[in-house]
Amino acid sequence: MIYGERIRLRGVERDDIPRFVAWFNDPEVTEGLTMYLPMTTWEEEQWFENLSKRPAEERPLAIEARLENGWQHIGSCGFHNIEWTNRAAEVGIAIGDKSVWNQGYGTETMRLLLEHGFETLNLNRIFLRVHESNLNAVRSYEKVGFVHEGRMRQAVYKHGKYEDMFLMSVLRSEWNSPRVGKNNGTSPHP
């Protein structure tokens, strides 16, 4: 497991499937995700069965928060499309448990993922795509050091309209900077 202050990251287990199905069928949870159709338990079970075919570094991680009743599964995260030659990877996160939204768990998770990506996986660039309208996520990513690289115009079609996507990244040199990342968690932007 990978431990943070209030969270830990662990491998996804079969017992997590019912929570994933509930979360990813909730329109509020999927609002900022590129999911369009309802998900069935059968589909999620098939997804779980295929995890063993993925490289270990690209398997999703369950996010657990230390709450008053012990560790509680609140979401998932992980790296995708790792380019080992370029030492780059895309990162994704979803906090599915709405009872813990806006409490900093996403920010802490992303900070822990960056540490894992740079210090364990030896990545040089970690990037993500985020819906322009997902302002809470954008602020959270900026807080841990992500920099805006660009805008993909009308990249997503959802709810009958097109929306732009922001492309954001953090470089290892920025993560090691005294102004960003592991040292103090502040953004390089005013």
pLDDT digits (tens, 9 = 90+) for 13-28: 999 999 999 999 999 9
Considering its fold, how many domains does the chain have in total? 1
For residue 163, the surrounding DSSP H or E stretch is strand 161-171
Residue 63 CB partners (closer than 8 Å, separation 6+): 7, 8, 9, 73, 74, 75, 76, 77, 93, 95, 105, 109
In the chain, where does DSSP find H-type helix? Answer: 17-23, 27-30, 41-50, 105-115, 135-143, 172-175
Q: Is residue 124 part of a domain?
A: yes
Enter the pTM of the model. 0.89
**Rounded distance, CA 189 to CA 44, Å?**
39
Q: Is residue 189 part of a domain?
A: no
Residue 180's pLDDT is 53
Q: Is residue 127 part of a domain?
A: yes
Residue 182's pLDDT is 53
Q: Is residue 188 part of a domain?
A: no
Residue 177's pLDDT is 64
Q: Is residue 136 part of a domain?
A: yes
| Percent over 90 (pLDDT), the chain | 85
| CATH number of the domain residue 73 falls in | 3.40.630.30
Buried b / exposed e along 31-44 (16+ C-beta atoms within 10 A) = ebbeeeeebeeeeb
pLDDT tens digits, 110-132: 999 999 999 999 999 999 999 99
Highest mean pLDDT among 21-35, 76-90, 166-180: 76-90
Q: Is residue 112 part of a domain?
A: yes
Question: What's the mean pLDDT when you consider all of the chain?
Answer: 91
Q: Is residue 170 part of a domain?
A: yes
Residue 188's pLDDT is 39
| The amino acid at 106 | G
**Rounded distance, CA 164 to CA 166, Å?**
7
* pLDDT of 167 above 50: yes
Cβ neighbour number for residue 190 with a 10 Å cutoff: 3
* pLDDT of 35 above 50: yes
Q: Do residues 21 and 41 lie in contact, with contact meaning Cβ atoms separated by under 8 Å? A: yes
Q: Is residue 190 part of a domain?
A: no
Q: Three-state SS for 66?
A: strand
Classify residue 116 by its DSSP letter.
I
Domain boundaries, position 176: 2-183
pLDDT top residue among 9 and 35: 9
